[in-house]
Amino acid sequence: MKKHFTFLFLLFVAISFAQIQKVEPAFWWHGMKNPDLQILVYGKDISKYQVELSDNIKVKDLTKTENPNYVFITINTDEVQKPSFKINFKNGKKTVDSYTYELKNRKPGSAERNSFSSKDVMYLIMPDRFANGDPSNDSQPNLTEKVNRSLPSGRHGGDLRGIINNLDYLQNLGVTALWLTPANEDNEKNTSYHGYAQTDLYKIDGRYGTNEEYVELSRKLQQRGMMLVQDYVTNHWGISHWLIQDLPTKDWIHQFKDGEGKFGFKRSNYRTTSQFDTNVSEIDKQEALNGWFDTTMPDLNQSNPLVLKYLTQNAIWWIEYAELGGLRVDTYPYNDKVAMTKWAKAITDEYPKFNIVGEAWMYNPAHISYWQKDSKIGAIDGYNSNLPSVMDFTLFTDLPNALKEEESWDKGMIKIYNSFGNDFLYPDISNILVFFENHDTERFNEIFKGDVRYYKMAISLIATVRGIPQIYYGSEIGMRGDKNKGGDADIRRDFPGGWKGDSQNAFNPKTQTLEQKEFHDYTQKLLNWRKGKEVVHTGKTKHYMPKEKVYVYFRYNDNDKVMVIINNNEKDQTFNLDRFAESLNGVSKGKDVISGKEFSISPQNKITVSGKSSLILELQK
């Protein structure tokens, strides 16, 4: 009886005094440009205790909310001279719990790190669908959804180790930056593989691996002259996120009085033009920005200073911890735009060379350019996003249509020409992401039924126009998938050879099919050529109005010149070069970067280009 009583007493003491359950961020660094650090401490009724820091460190600000389980402690890290200090929670003179907080030393040169630019080629990977390098982590006891590769929308087991194991393949292909869809924990009940309903922003999903493996991937990329780009989500979290399940404040997320369920769910109307529409009604604007992206994705309220600080520090923590080379931000126009201006500025103030590309999925170039830093369009209403880069959804939309439509006044190849005619809208035209597909869109090779000729024309274009080319995993081997029939899962198929027992391995050029090899070899040659071509990275563009389904443009600087010809005819096309005289001044020959074939190039000559093909010529005197 006495033993039983003693056990119950000790259990009561443990429950009463083991207050701290979470501290975020768990550690930080000395020497940040902004020395202010906000530390979230979570535990049952934690706010009823007094906070005292060791070593006479001052609490700059202490915020308690309507939820007694939270305390937000702000300190000035410049005032902390030691590598660690204690956060003590006291009941009178008695310390009931404490946490040892570490301030690490930054890696030399961290603040001046380089980031992705027009010199790079970005390769987009869905980790769950690329390669399974460690089958032992496929399912986790503490994570709800288990691996089921037979279920198209289920977890398939791809992981960080699978990516690490295939870095030779990626480097040889010619890509220099890896964009992974979110790898943080997504512990939703189903369809969690995409990662956009995150449930822990400081932890890599256990089915992908560990935080340490994420850092390992980043460092191994750096050793190869490559970099890791994190997919960051500021607009929403997963409904199972621990902070959502026990909200620090009611307005941490957007809740509607006439909404559904526990949190007042109402779906967004997705009309993000409301961000700058001078005629917009307030109700439409609020439903666009505050409405949820989906039923399991509560919409975050970035205008709440605690939320904004949490998101800002979390992004900086990953940049510093994982030595990131950039961020891609999901659903950018759905956020509070004033708050996001502060978010982007805080990051780029800390890392002046750091690049962040925002997904502004709009089709009008004026609407897209609004979101780029120093935009002339944004300046009309006094807005500056501080967001360095945006995605060229106009080109994404126009490119497949241009290649499949019959020519007319406003259809066919003229769409590409007109797309580039809007370049004046962008304050930094070299710093926009150009692509023809991603993880949310129809597979390009599906649109053209696996016809490699169309792929070659498309990859030739995005690899040689202004901006940062981005390709989607598997395109380079001809992967297909029908979104209209199979949904998102069908455009996110497993990369062949990424799983033990796969019938065929496309990672090894020796075991690629003839069809895969044609896609792959063309991509590899083109992207590796592009690496050393400054004229393509930063040169000017001069293009010529398409005639008879042929589009011609030049990339040039003071030292170099490249001519690109895209022939969308079924038949070979022969034409005079005199029309391009202003761009061919002083040129006598051109060398095809793919075949090595040389052409006599001058305004007096003709050239023949094969049907449904591209010709990329390095021009010489």
Q: What is the pLDDT of residues 164-218, one digit of tens each?
A: 999 999 999 999 999 999 999 999 999 999 999 999 999 999 999 999 999 999 9
444: closest CA among 461, 430, 432, 423?
461
Q: From CA 524, how far away is CA 527, in angstroms rounded?
A: 5
Pairing mode, if any, of strands 468-472 and 122-125?
parallel
Decide if 330 is catalytic: yes
Over residues 4-27, the mean pLDDT reads: 65
Residue with tokens 């010709």: 615
Kindly state the tokens that stand for 296. Answer: 């399991």
pLDDT band at 7 (very low <50, low <70, confident <90, very high): very low
Q: What is the 3-state secondary structure (H, E, C) of 9-64?
A: HHHHHHHHHCCCCEEECCEEECCCCCCEEEEEEECCCHHHCEEEECCCCCCCEEEE
Q: Phi, psi (5° rounding) for residue 378? A: -60, -35
Mean pLDDT of 383-405: 97
In which residue are the tokens 């360095």 written?
A: 388
Least confident window among 8-12, 300-304, 320-324, 405-409:
8-12
Indicate the burial class of 167 (C-beta count within 10 angstroms; 0-12, 13-18, 19 or more). Answer: middle
CB atoms within 10 A of CB 470: 27
User: Which of these is catalytic: 138, 359, 392, 398?
Assistant: 359
* Helix, strand and coil percent figures for the chain, each rounded to 5: 35, 25, 45
CA distances from 406 to 363, 418, 453, 568 (A): 21, 16, 17, 10
Q: What would the two tokens of residue 590 be?
A: 């051109």
pLDDT at 16 over 90: no
| Rounded Cα–Cα distance for residues 135 and 137 (Å) | 5
pLDDT band for 10, please (50, 70, 90 cuts).
very low
pLDDT at 616 over 90: yes
Q: Cα–Cα–Cα angle for 341, 343, 347, nearest 5°? A: 115
Strand, helix or coil for residue 538: helix
Identify the active-site residue in 205, 231, 330, 446. 330
Mean pLDDT of 511-531: 98
What is the number of alpha carbons within 13 Å of residue 178 lying toward its C-beta?
30
Q: What whole-number percentage of the chain has pLDDT above 70?
A: 97
| Inter-residue contact 484 to 492 (CB < 8 Å) | no
* Average pLDDT, rounded, for the chain: 96
Phi first, then psi: give them for residue 202, nearest 5 degrees.
Answer: -110, 10
- Residue 349 has a CB neighbour count (10 Å cut-off) of 13
Q: What pLDDT score does 365 carry?
A: 97
Q: Which residue has the tokens 């083991």?
A: 18
Residue 490's contacts (CB-CB under 8 Å, 6 or more residues apart) are: 152, 481, 482, 483
In this prediction, residues 71-87 reach a mean pLDDT of 97
> How sure is the predictor about 279, in pLDDT bands with cuts at 50, 70 and 90?
very high
pLDDT tens digits for range 323-333: 999 999 999 99
Cβ neighbour number for residue 217 with a 10 Å cutoff: 23
Single-letter amino acid, residue 171? Q
> ∠ CA(319), CA(324), CA(326), 5° rounding?
95
Banded model confidence at residue 9, pLDDT cuts 50, 70, 90: very low
- The candidate with the shortest Cα–Cα distance to 175, out of 475, 486, 455, is 475
Asked if the model's pLDDT at residue 1 lies above 80, the reply is no
Report whether pLDDT(8) > 60: no
Distance, in Å, from the CA atom of 470 to the CA atom of 576, rounded to the nearest integer, reads: 33
- What is the arithmetic mean of pLDDT over 50-74? 97
Name the band, by pLDDT with cuts 50, 70 and 90, for residue 17. low
* pLDDT above 90: residue 6: no
Q: Which of 609, 511, 620, 521 is nearest to 566 (CA)?
A: 609
In this prediction, residue 5 carries a pLDDT of 47
Position with higher pLDDT, 165 vs 18: 165
Asked if 61 and 77 touch (Cβ cutoff 8 Å), the reply is no
**How many Cβ atoms are within 10 Å of 481's Cβ, its own excluded?**
19
Q: Is residue 134 very low, low, confident or very high in pLDDT (cuts 50, 70, 90)?
A: very high
pLDDT in tens, 405-459: 999 999 999 999 999 999 999 999 999 999 999 999 999 999 999 999 999 999 9
